[in-house]
């Protein structure tokens, strides 16, 4: 696969992509509730209206509506009933396909490809004492839309090119896992498969694995806004709530 035919850093301004019946970004990510965001001091989730009640990860947003008739979609939902007043976290969500940075037709739309590619800005602190020393780095975060999407066609081909040619670090959010893990070696996909299985069958064991990673400081700061989302999803896993499939693969492998 030619990387020049897959990605661009200069999207065509005349290209206006529509989400259509894709509701991946309305289903997979957690949305922190307004009270939690205010306590955290995180300005990533304000000032536009938030979902007061928040939204759990891997759960369709309550504001989705309609039946798309597309059996691959999430429960047939086809749009947002409050799109004109959507929260900032929704309005600024950087889906690379939607913004024209991921080239190709609708076969690379997240609910068709099986991967949702996002561009995130992860803050780090060079000094714990000085806010002015805050710096950030860009990372491409790859979300599995269904279990195994990173290992199977067509997602695996896109992932291989991304890892080989991306100027930014690549992290993967394996399906059902409440945090992103940096991709370092193809064997990581086997680890991801096991973590997704735990999310489906043994969520408490998955929660213990993630908490051990946090304790070893191998994940992002759990006190950050991103980390608050991790901790809330961990609480859900520790209650024994298994993660269910929300989208179906379009292609047989």
Q: In the chain, where are the structural domains located?
A: 21-238
pLDDT of residue 243: 94
The per-residue pLDDT for 222 is: 46
Instruction: Report pLDDT digits (tens) over 122-147.
Output: 655 444 444 444 445 788 899 999 99
**β-sheet bridge partners, residue 136:** 123
Section 199-225 average pLDDT: 81
Contacts of 94 (CB under 8 A, 6+ apart): 118, 119, 120
Query: What pLDDT is recorded for position 73?
Result: 47
Residues 181-205 have a mean pLDDT of 93
pLDDT at 53 over 50: yes
Answer yes or no: pTM beyond 0.85. no
What percent of the chain has a predicted confidence (pLDDT) above 90? 30
Chain-centre distance for alpha carbon 229: 12
Q: pLDDT band for position 82 (50/70/90)?
A: confident
Whether 41 shows a pLDDT value over 60: the answer reads: no
Q: What is the pLDDT of residue 48?
A: 40
Instruction: State the pLDDT confidence band at 72, using cuts at 50, 70 and 90.
Output: very low
**Predicted local distance difference test score (pLDDT) of residue 89:** 76
Q: What tens digit of pLDDT does each residue of 147-174 get?
A: 999 999 999 999 999 888 888 888 999 9
Instruction: Identify whether the C-beta of residue 247 lies closer than 8 Å to the C-beta of residue 116.
Output: no
Question: How many other CB atoms sit within 10 Å of the CB of residue 129?
Answer: 6
CB 23 within 8 A of CB 77: yes
Nearest in space to 144 (alpha carbons), one of 118, 172, 171 = 172
Taken in order 244, 141, 219, 233, the sign of the CA dihedral is negative
According to the model, what pLDDT value does residue 251 have? 65
Residue 19's closest CA among 117, 138, 99, 101?
99
The two tokens of residue 69 are 């008739």
Write down the pLDDT at residue 142: 94
């Amino acid at each position: 696969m030619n990387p020049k035919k897959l990605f661009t850093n200069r999207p065509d301004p005349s290209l206006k992509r529509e989400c259509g019946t894709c509701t991946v970004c309305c289903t997979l990510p957690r949305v922190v509730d307004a009270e939690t965001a205010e306590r955290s001091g995180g300005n990533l989730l304000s000032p536009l209206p938030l979902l007061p009640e928040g939204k759990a990860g891997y759960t369709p947003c309550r504001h989705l509506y309609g039946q798309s008739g597309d059996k691959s979609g999430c429960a047939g939902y086809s749009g947002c009933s409050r799109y004109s007043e959507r929260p900032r976290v929704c309005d600024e969500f950087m889906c690379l396909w939607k913004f024209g940075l991921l080239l190709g037709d609708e076969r690379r739309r997240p609910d068709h490809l099986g991967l949702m590619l996002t561009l995130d800005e992860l803050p780090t602190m060079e000094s714990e004492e000085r806010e002015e020393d805050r710096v950030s780095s860009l990372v491409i975060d790859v979300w599995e839309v269904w279990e195994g999407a990173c290992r199977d066609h067509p997602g695996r081909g896109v992932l291989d090119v991304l890892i080989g040619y991306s100027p930014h670090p690549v992290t993967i959010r394996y399906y059902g896992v409440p945090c992103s893990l940096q991709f370092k070696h193809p064997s990581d996909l086997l680890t991801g498969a096991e973590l997704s299985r735990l999310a489906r069958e043994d969520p408490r064991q998955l929660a213990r694995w993630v908490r051990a990673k946090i304790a070893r400081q191998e994940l992002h700061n759990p006190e950050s806004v991103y980390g608050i989302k991790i901790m809330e999803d961990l609480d859900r896993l520790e209650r024994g709530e298994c993660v269910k499939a929300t989208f179906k693969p379009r292609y047989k492998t």
